[in-house]
Structure formats: structure tokens, C-alpha cells
Amino acid sequence: MASESECVAVAEPPHVHLHLHPDGTEPLAHIAVDYCPEACHHASEDGEIHVTYDDRGGARWRSRCRFLPGGAIAATIRAPAGDTAGLNYNLYLSSLEGSRDMDEIDFEFLGHDKCAVQTNFHVAGGGGREQIHVLPFDSSDGFHHYAIAWGADAIEWRIDGELIRREERVAGEPWPEKPMFLYASVWDASHINDGKWTGTYHGRDAPYICSYKDIRVPLALSLEDEEDPYKCACVGDASATTAAAADAAEELDAGDAPAAAAAAAADAAEQVDAGDSPAATAATDAAEQVGAGDVPASAAAADVVEEVDAGAVADYIVLAHRSLPDLRPVNLYGIGPRDSDQSWAPSQKGPNRRETGTMKLHHPVASQQHRGARRTRCAESERDEMPNVALLSAASPSTSSAAPRLRHVARRRPSRRSACPRSAASKLSIMAALGEDPIREWILTEGKATKITGVSSIGGGCINSAQCYKTDAGSFFVKTNGRIGPSMFEGEALGLKAMYDTNSIRVPLPYKVGSLPTGGSFIIMEFIEFGRSRGDQSALGRKLAEMHKAAKSDKGYGFYVDNTIGSTPQINTWTADWIEFYSKHRLGFQLELITQRFGDSAIYDKGQRLIENMHPLFEGAAMEPCLLHGDLWSGNISSDTNGEPVILDPACYYGHNEAEFGMSWCAGFGGEFYSSYFEVMPKQPGFEKRRDLYLLYHYLNHYNLFGTGYRSSAMSIIDDYLRMLKA
């Protein structure tokens, strides 16, 4: 933390700086956006990236490949203007953000002081090497150049070409050696060290924009993805596919062939990276011609953006694992032996052999098991026992199964042909082609609205699309999915309603779940206007504990229906014993999926040994089946305009309350959160011993969703427990 860091002054830079483009680097052409892509704009034609922090939160972008030691990264950065207290904006290398054993090298700007920057490096998850450097300028006044060179024997940090820090490897000491992505993000770090690190976020000058340009990455020291039929084109490749989408829109008449136009646009746009808004939105022109602006039922009528990059996971993720050539580091910034002029070059002592495998996110075996489990669990009779489920009224009638399977457009812009007026007859023909709109129908009847005044896209994440419907009776939040039936949203609605009924923490009230005429499903719920921060940590901890205390189940551990955690099936069969439930339906199920997808018998065998021997971890703990949100990470936590905490997008079930903290590694819970929580729900004996056991479920799920980058974190937890339990 900053309070424990060494402060170092940075000399006033000279007027001319040499070597701002270190040898052996090239411009960064392609990026992925890990979350909130609408807050990250990549102008690929001039290489600029702008990350905005406002009431949506911030965003994080990264390179599409990892880089080996022996290279340099650099960027010219302008920090956000205004009072940025509480914010952290940065540029850093990391083997995998969020991993327990990540290597990392970073520049971090601490929002309460724009005339300082922190440098640090982590090895296998361990940091503690912070230094604060006093800058001779305000980092928001203009662009300045920041670079990191990283080799087998030294790390150097430079600002405007001047060396500000150098760390040399010490024999026997840990050193960052893993291949690393280049990352940058803007986020609210107010909760860290009670605001002493970055200050406390107020947001009085929002939106805050951090700008990056002239971004350089190592040349020929990267682990590039193999070509794959499921792989989307990158941001830098957008121009040709943008033109293809535009051509599709120009050539097809909306009134005569709405389905064909949408399909053509979707096909063209499948090659475009969703992270690049101008390219992706160009592909929606054809979908506009089928009435996307006039017929909200077409929310299922074109899905341009749902097959996206690995940072915003959708249908498929391409993952590569390969044996690497033996590469020696390249001297880019004078890095290496201190006084040596030796220029290092890559050398290969073995064959440049790469063994690549791909993973399909929706695994057919898992999907089949999930469907089978749902069929055999008498879901209808169980729903009858769930109170207040009238909101889950029957799905709307579907059109013929022969109807074309179109997909949803996540972003819109004015059509190229918007100057051409459409006749009423044209609108009617579109309605007839798409079928009735159950979303609009519900809003204008049971929703008590007489007119819809606007529909706007508000993102929706990597699996679903989301819109805000503004009406004369208020606003409604609508999520749609063009491929999955209503069962997924039923599970979400049941969870939201169960949490809502505790009258503890604020959640959006669900109103309606149903099928879309063209396939897929929707959910309509209360629209909550978010505030400018995640709210008070103390209030979040207290209200979450109140929910856990208020909602208990007399049926045991489980839930009324199976649901999903991300896009992975989550089995919720009622079970009387918590250890049995967690062993079988959480850890055991994830381990089985890993075996099916990756053939990883080593982690399966060790995981089973842990399951068989973990009973002592629960000795002395009083466990009750409490209602859990189930997927409580920072992206599912916000606050309303009054500052009250809001939680959303649940994967609910009744479980041991401590399991709620399983996503704490990317939730940012601070000391105030835990103190307030345990005032209401007292800490149980052995809490610290069980803590990583609940992290393990989510690391295993990330392994299944995102690939082998999370394997080491999961295996590390398993190995630690096997040693602790002497199993």
C-alpha cells in the first residue's frame, strides 16, 4: 500500500527524449475488453484507447496475447481531469488478472495525487514492493510516456524516457517469469486501506476519461492465438467486415426481406470484434432495416455482438496451450547486465513447436446433463411450492419452428438508409414477419403504460443483451437472449424474487419471463437508476448479512430450480447435508466438467481427495441453509442514486453463508464490509480455514469457462488443503 511505500522523486525531464519507441516493439493493433465495453473506445485507425469511468463503472482492456520476458511495453497516457480521488488508473503487465498466483509489473496512478505514480511488481501473487514516485508534472495536464522493460535479470520503469526505477534479480529470490498480458483499467479503489491508498471517490467531476495512445508491445516475443474457425476478427481488422455489413444493409430492402437483411448483417458482423464500437455498430445497419427501431420484438432478430472476444465471453472462447520455444531476452532498454553493451537476440535450442487446443464454451455433454437433470427434477411441482411465482407466467406463443433463427443486436446507430421513410404497410409487414412482440405487449398491458417513449441499449454483459424501455409509467429493464429458452431467466427471476422478499438489500423486482417469437427468451424487471459508485461497503456488508439471516430454507440446501453460474450449469438438487451438497453439486460437478473438457485427470484426482477429506474443515461451525446471491463480484454490485447498495444478476441457492464470499477475489470487499457483516452474522469457528475452499468453486468454474489460465490457482488451493489435511 502507498502508506508503506518508498517515495522517490522523478527528475524534471529534458526537452528531448530518445528511445521512446524501444527497438523490437510494434504498435498494439488489437485489444480485448474484459468488462463494460461501452466504457472503452478503441480508435484503431490512430491507435488511441479512451477508458471512461462514470455511473456505469469503468472498464479494463488488455492485449489479445501474452508476452514473454525480454521485451518492453510503452504507452503515452493522459490521466483523467478533475477530482479523481478514489480512482486507480494504470498500465501494467499481468500473467492473468485476478489469479491467486499471478506475476505482475505495473504503473498505478492513485487518484488523490496526480503528481505521483506507484510502481510495483508481483511474483506468484505476492507483492509488497511498492514505490511512490513524485512527478514533476500533473499527470492529467497532458500526455506523458510510460514504459516497462522486463527481462530475465532486471526490470526497468521509465517516464518520458528517464529511468525512475530498476530492480535486478537476486539469486534465490522470486522473479516474474510468466508470459503476461498488457492491461489497463480505471476503477474505484476507495475501499482499499479505508481510502488511504487512492482517497475516497466522490464523482463530482464525472465522467473521467483516461486516454492511451502510441501503445507499443514486444515484437516476436508474444504467444499468438492459432487461427480457429470460431475466432472473431480483431479490432484492427474491422474495416473490411464493416463494409460488408454496410453492403448487406444497402442491398436488401427492409420492407421486402427483413429476416434476410438481418441474417446478412449478422453474418457479416460475426467477424467483427464487439469491443470496437464503430465496427460493431456499422454491422447493425441491416438490422435497422428490419425495424429494430420500430419493432422491439426484433430484440431477438439479429445477434451481431454475442460472439465476441475472450475478454467478454460469449458463445465460444478460443484458448491456446502450447510448449514454448526457448527464447532468450532481447535487450530493448539497456536491460540486462548493468554495464554490458551486449545485445541479446532470440535463440531457439529446440523446435518451435506449438500444441494448441480449443474449448467450446457451451459444452454439449454438460448441456445434455443439465437438461436431463432439469427434466428429472419435477420442476413444475417444485415451482408450485415456491411462494409468489405468479410473475413467471406462461411463455408467449412462438412462431413456426421453420422461422429463421436470427440474433440480437447489442448496439444501434442511425441507419445509413434512415433518410428513407418507411410506410405503415412496411411496418405491418415487418410485424407480421417477426410475430407479436411479447415485451411491448406486457409493458402496454400489465405494465400499465400507455406508450413507450424510447428504447436504449445498455450493454448486458457477455451472455445476454439488455435494454431500457422508457414509458409514461416509468422505465423497465429488459434482458433478452436469442438462443436460450426461458428456463435460464426463470432461475434468475426466482432468485431475484426470493432476495426481494427478504426486505433487506435492494434488488430489481422481476415482472415477467417469456419466450421470444423468433426463438430465445426475455425477462422484464424493475429499472434501478444507479449512483456514481458502488456505495458504502459497511452498508453492503450489513444488508447482505440481513438477507442471509432473514431467508432460510426448511427444504435443505439447494434451490427450486437449477440455474447457471456464468454460463455453466449450476445443479441445485435439494440436499439435507451441506458438505454433501457442496461436494457433489459444486466442487464435484466442476471437476467432472474439467475432465470432460480438458482431460485433466490430475486436478480431478486431487480434487476428489480433497472432497473425501474436507470434513474436518467444518468442525465447530454452525451451518444453516441461507439464501445466497451466489455470484457476488464487483460487476454484480452497485448502488442506487441514494447510495444504497444494489445487487443483481444472481445465481441463487440456499447454502452456507460463508460460500457467498467465494468471488471475493474480484469483489473488492474491504475491512468495513466484513466488520459490518459479522456484526449481524457472527463469524464461525474455522472461517479462515474454509475461506479458500469457497474460492475454489469459482476458480474451477473460471477454468471451465476461460481455460487453463485458472488451473494453477485452483490446483494451488487444492494442494494447500491436501497438505493441511495430510490427505
- Please check whether residue 519 is in contact with residue 650, taking contact to mean a CB–CB distance below 8 angstroms: no
For residues 364-376, average pLDDT: 40
Sequence-separated (6 or more) residues with CB below 8 Å from residue 167? 121, 129, 154, 155
| Superfamily in which the 437-527 domain is placed by CATH | Phosphorylase Kinase; domain 1 (3.30.200.20)
Q: Is the pLDDT of residue 207 over 80?
A: yes
Domain at 534-726, CATH from 1.10.3720.10, 3.40.50.300, 3.40.50.2300, 3.90.1200.10: 3.90.1200.10
User: In the prediction, which pLDDT does 238 show?
Assistant: 34
For residues 410-433, average pLDDT: 32
Amino acid at site 421: P
- Please check whether residue 684 is in contact with residue 656, taking contact to mean a CB–CB distance below 8 angstroms: no
Q: Is the pLDDT of residue 190 over 60?
A: yes
- Please check whether residue 250 is in contact with residue 261, taking contact to mean a CB–CB distance below 8 angstroms: no
> What tens digit of pLDDT does each residue of 524-568 get?
999 999 887 667 889 999 999 999 999 999 999 999 999 999 889
Where do the CATH 3.30.200.20 domains begin and end in the chain?
A: 437-527
Quick one: which of 460, 464, 510 has its CA closest to 485?
A: 464
- Please check whether residue 240 is in contact with residue 381, taking contact to mean a CB–CB distance below 8 angstroms: no
- Please check whether residue 51 is in contact with residue 59, taking contact to mean a CB–CB distance below 8 angstroms: yes
Q: Is the pLDDT of residue 689 over 80?
A: yes
Q: Among 12, 38, 104, 546, which one carries the catalytic annotation?
A: 104
> What tens digit of pLDDT does each residue of 25-40 get?
899 988 988 877 888 9
User: In the prediction, which pLDDT does 227 show?
Assistant: 32
For residues 100-121, average pLDDT: 93
Q: Is the pLDDT of residue 300 over 60?
A: no
The DSSP result for 27-49, as a single string, is E---EEEEE-GGGEEEETTTTEE
Active site residue 104: yes
pTM attached to this predicted model = 0.53
Q: Is the peptide bond before 645 cis (omega within 30 degrees of 0)?
A: no
Domain 25-218 architecture: Sandwich (2.60)
pLDDT band at residue 616 under the 50/70/90 scheme: very high
- Looking up cell 514492493 gives 129
> What tens digit of pLDDT does each residue of 632-641 get?
988 899 999 9
% of the chain residues with pLDDT over 90: 51
Distance CA 55, CA 691 (A): 31
C-alpha cell at 607: 480434487
Where do the CATH 2.60.120.200 domains begin and end in the chain?
A: 25-218
Q: Among 108, 270, 288, 307, which one carries the catalytic annotation?
A: 108
Q: Is the pLDDT of residue 63 over 80?
A: yes
Active site residue 385: no
- Please check whether residue 568 is in contact with residue 593, taking contact to mean a CB–CB distance below 8 angstroms: yes
